Structure 1
Amino acid sequence: MANKDAFTPEEWTKVLESIVAAGLAVSAVDPSGWWGTLKEAAASTPALAEAKRDPNSNELIQAAVAEFERSGDGSILAMRERFAQAEPTECVQRSLACLREASAIVDAKAPNEAAVFKSWLREISQKVAEAAVEGSFLGFGGVRVSEAERATLRDISKALGIAS
């Protein structure tokens, strides 16, 4: 069973940042306007709440959710500072790099829980992708998940080392 104690402080920070990166990569690839961006930003919150209630969540997910909530906006603010001047495509690439790092860390430090944790991150990115309709005009038309978001979801799966 893995928790915060299984990781160095730097590794644990990467694990927590991966929660933000999972959604950020999708949001940045196809900005959805002001309202859509708010919906996408809020989409990962229910995933955290669900993980707390899910009896199938492993100890690593539970520990990450608890720490993420305890730190408040700490992880989000730290990432926001690092990404402040980045273009959307750079945000996507940095998020994917963060997910690759986190994936390698949990594979090494929590091999028995890594697959479930990485699948959970992928689920977060899927929920963010589905949170807003892309390409609509005044609420008409558009698609739930754009082609750019689908491609990024595949990139996220690849970065996490899981089947898409």
Structure 2
Amino acid sequence: MSLKDNFTADEWFKVMTGPGRAGAAVVAASPSGVTGLLAEAGAIAAAVRESVSRERRTPLMEAMAADLLGQPAARAPEQERARNVEDVKNQSLEGVRQAMWLVNAKTSPEDAAAYRDMLMLVAERTAEAATEGGFLGIGGERVNDKERAVIEELRQMLGGSGSGVITHETPPEALDRRPEPGPDGSGNSN
């Protein structure tokens, strides 16, 4: 039995897309032009590749590396479409939270720490990939306040430096279910 067998297909999809969502949250916090977006996308891919290619990797990193090299990506579960960049940021942060919760619940502390480190590496490298502000590449700053705020939000959500344990959150499965509509059709039961 492989570590991946601990997860349903939808759960594994959430784990596999968690790093990309960490990067997307940073991108959405302070959108760059096309050149910046390409640099940020490249930074996400490079940080994931670096994390799963380390010499001493955990079983989770091994399973993720195998999936990245082998099988085509699974189909994304249905979710609400983002209407603006704030929605993208919020949905991305929620996706990261769910992925980290799953990893904490279904893997070892070493796997959880490695996954947390990967998420933070992706966020930090994404923020550093493109200069924000300035004109024609002159001036601006490497990491702006909005990006720093998202990185700090991720750090707080993931448990700061160290444990990466999320114990106070609702399991992702509970969030995927929508309440039944009430008698008036509003979703409220009273």
CA offsets, 1:108-136, max 9 Å, x none?
Answer: 10132101211111111111110000112
Tell me, yes or no, if the aligned pair for 2:48 and 2:118 is still in contact at 8 Å: no
Letter in 2 for 1:91: V
* Residue of structure 2 equivalent to 1:143: 141
Query: How far apart, CA to CA, are the structure 2 residues paired with 1:129 and 1:58?
Result: 26
Query: How far apart, CA to CA, are the structure 1 residues paired with 2:19 and 2:69?
Result: 11
Tell me, yes or no, if the aligned pair for 1:119 and 1:162 is still in contact at 8 Å: no
Q: Structure 2 regions of 5+ residues with no counterpart?
A: 163-190
* Residue of structure 2 equivalent to 1:8: 8
Tell me, yes or no, if the aligned pair for 2:25 and 2:93 is still in contact at 8 Å: yes
Letter in 1 for 2:130: A
Runs of 4+ off more than 4 Å: 81-85
Determine helix, strand or coil for the equivalent of 1:130. Answer: helix
Please report how far the alpha carbon of residue 159 of structure 1 lies from its aligned counterpart in structure 2 after TM superposition.
2.4
Q: Structure 1 regions of 5+ residues with no counterpart?
A: none
CA offsets, 1:88-112, max 9 Å, x none?
Answer: 1111100110111111111110132
Query: How far apart, CA to CA, are the structure 2 residues paired with 1:3 and 1:135?
Result: 44
Please report how far the alpha carbon of residue 160 of structure 1 lies from its aligned counterpart in structure 2 after TM superposition.
2.0
Larger CA deviation: 62-71 vs 116-125: 62-71
- Aligned CA RMSD, in angstroms, stands at 2.4
Tell me, yes or no, if the aligned pair for 1:51 and 1:62 is still in contact at 8 Å: no
151, 154, 164: which is aligned to 1:153? Answer: 151
Determine helix, strand or coil for the equivalent of 2:31. Answer: coil
TM-score, scaled to structure 1? 0.86
* Residue of structure 2 equivalent to 1:42: 42
TM-score, scaled to structure 2? 0.75
* Residue of structure 2 equivalent to 1:129: 127
59, 80, 95: which is aligned to 1:98? Answer: 95
Tell me, yes or no, if the aligned pair for 2:27 and 2:126 is still in contact at 8 Å: yes
Higher helix share: 1
Tell me, yes or no, if the aligned pair for 1:134 and 1:146 is still in contact at 8 Å: yes
Query: How far apart, CA to CA, are the structure 1 residues paired with 2:82 and 2:105?
Result: 32
Query: How far apart, CA to CA, are the structure 1 residues paired with 2:122 and 2:115?
Result: 11
Identical counterparts, % of pairs: 35
Determine helix, strand or coil for the equivalent of 2:129. Answer: coil
Tell me, yes or no, if the aligned pair for 1:103 and 1:159 is still in contact at 8 Å: no
Q: Which has the larger radius of gyration?
A: 2
